[in-house]
């Protein structure tokens, strides 16, 4: 099967992305608006983007009516009307229901902190609060927002943020900054309403040395 994206409806383009790019990391993004009102929303169009500067990127897509999601409005650079700050909180399996609930389309100004019962905690260098339940939180300043098709329904708006402060739950990282995967208890996003946990794992060297080893999947090592 092969497909020309320009000949497909947006719903099919969406499914060809989210049904195959799996699992996707999840950013639970906390922001505030100009009046200081808090907002939380999950985003699985998300990943690490740069080490120097330390940066990450996520994409709140334009709503079906052509408007920006609240998170995007709040995170836009100051010159574009936002506060230019956001926190990416990593999800934990113990609060997956609250994470999913934070996707509720509340009117702007109504807080998902109140809806979900998640706990706001002060950030160190930016104004939006982090989520106390998160094992890892990245305080970010917006470097740039790349709008792929401004105002077009379901178009990507890639928010690139520089990480200006990192929170890791006490004891979760060792001195070399290795993070304990079990303690992180993280989640990935599958298609539809699916989620997964990284419980089926194996290690493999990188480069040509990998070819000389037994297949780690079929051999079960
Ligand atoms: C796990 C999960 C991942 C999501 N990923 C995205 C995403 O990458 N981009 C997006 O625009 N919406 C995504 N959504 C939907 C938004 O969270 C939802 O539209 C939310 O209401 C936006 O909130 P806001 O208007 O307060 O920013 C996701 C929802 C869930 C539950």
User: Which residue CA neighbors atom 7 of ligand 1 most closely?
Assistant: 43
CATH no. for residue 157? 2.30.110.10
What confidence category does residue 221 fall into, taking pLDDT thresholds of 50, 70 and 90? low
Parent domain of 141: 5-212
- Residue 62 contacts by C-beta under 8 Å, 6 or more apart in sequence? 68, 69, 149, 150, 151, 152, 153, 154, 155, 156, 157
Q: From the CA of 205, how far away is ligand 1's center (Å)?
A: 35
* Phi, psi values for residue 152, rounded to 5°: -85, 130
Residue 220 forms part of a structural domain? no
* Phi, psi values for residue 176, rounded to 5°: -85, 5
Q: Count up the domains in the chain and report the number.
A: 1
Between β-strands 136-147 and 130-131, what pairing exists: parallel, antiparallel or unpaired?
Answer: unpaired
Residue 219 forms part of a structural domain? no
Residue 96 forms part of a structural domain? yes
What b/e readout covers 8-27, taking b as 16+ CB neighbours within 10 angstroms? eeeeeeeeeebeeeebbbbb
Residue 218 forms part of a structural domain? no
Render pLDDT for 11-26 as a digit per residue (tens, 0 to 9): 999 999 999 999 999 9
Residue 103 forms part of a structural domain? yes
Q: Is the peptide bond before 178 cis (omega within 30 degrees of 0)?
A: no
Q: From the CA of 61, how far away is ligand 1's center (Å)?
A: 8
Contact yes or no for 71/182 (Cβ under 8 A): no
Residue 221 forms part of a structural domain? no
Residue 41 forms part of a structural domain? yes
- Residue 5 contacts by C-beta under 8 Å, 6 or more apart in sequence? 13, 16
* 158 token code pair: 């890639």
Residue 118 forms part of a structural domain? yes
Render pLDDT for 159-209 as a digit per residue (tens, 0 to 9): 999 999 999 999 999 999 999 999 999 999 999 999 999 999 999 999 999
Beta strands in the chain (DSSP E): 27-32, 38-43, 46-50, 55-58, 85-89, 120-121, 130-131, 136-147, 157-168, 188-189, 195-196
From 40, 99, 103, the mutation candidate for ligand 1 (largest count of ligand atoms within 8 A of CB) is 103
From 10, 33, 39, 44, the mutation candidate for ligand 1 (largest count of ligand atoms within 8 A of CB) is 44
Q: What is the pTM (predicted TM-score) of this model?
A: 0.97
Q: From the CA of 123, how far away is ligand 1's center (Å)?
A: 22
Looking at the predicted structure, is the pLDDT value of residue 220 above 70? no
End-to-end Cα separation, the chain, in angstroms = 34
Render pLDDT for 93-131 as a digit per residue (tens, 0 to 9): 999 999 999 999 888 778 899 999 999 999 999 999 999
Q: What is the pLDDT of residue 107?
A: 87
| Ligand 1 closest atom vs CA 99 | 31
């Amino acid at each position: 099967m092969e497909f020309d994206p320009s000949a497909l409806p947006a719903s099919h383009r969406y499914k060809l992305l989210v049904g195959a790019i799996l699992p996707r990391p999840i950013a639970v993004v906390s922001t505030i608006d100009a009046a200081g009102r808090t907002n939380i929303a999950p985003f699985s169009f998300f990943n690490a983007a740069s080490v120097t500067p330390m940066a990450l990127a996520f994409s709140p897509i334009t709503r079906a009516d052509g408007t920006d999601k609240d998170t995007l409005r709040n995170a836009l650079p100051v010159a574009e009307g936002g506060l230019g700050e956001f926190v990416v909180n990593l999800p934990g399996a113990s609060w997956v229901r609250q994470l999913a609930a934070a996707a509720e389309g509340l009117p702007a100004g109504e807080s998902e902190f109140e809806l979900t019962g998640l706990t706001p905690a002060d950030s160190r260098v930016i104004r939006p609060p982090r989520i106390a339940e998160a094992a890892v939180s990245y305080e970010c300043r917006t470097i740039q927002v790349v709008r792929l098709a401004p105002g077009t329904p379901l178009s990507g708006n890639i928010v690139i943020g520089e990480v200006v402060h990192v929170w890791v739950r006490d004891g979760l990282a060792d001195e070399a900054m290795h993070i304990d995967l079990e303690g992180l208890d993280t989640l990935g996003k599958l298609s539809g309403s699916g989620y997964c946990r990284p419980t089926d794992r194996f290690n493999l060297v990188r480069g040509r040395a990998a070819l000389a080893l037994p297949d780690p999947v079929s051999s079960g090592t």
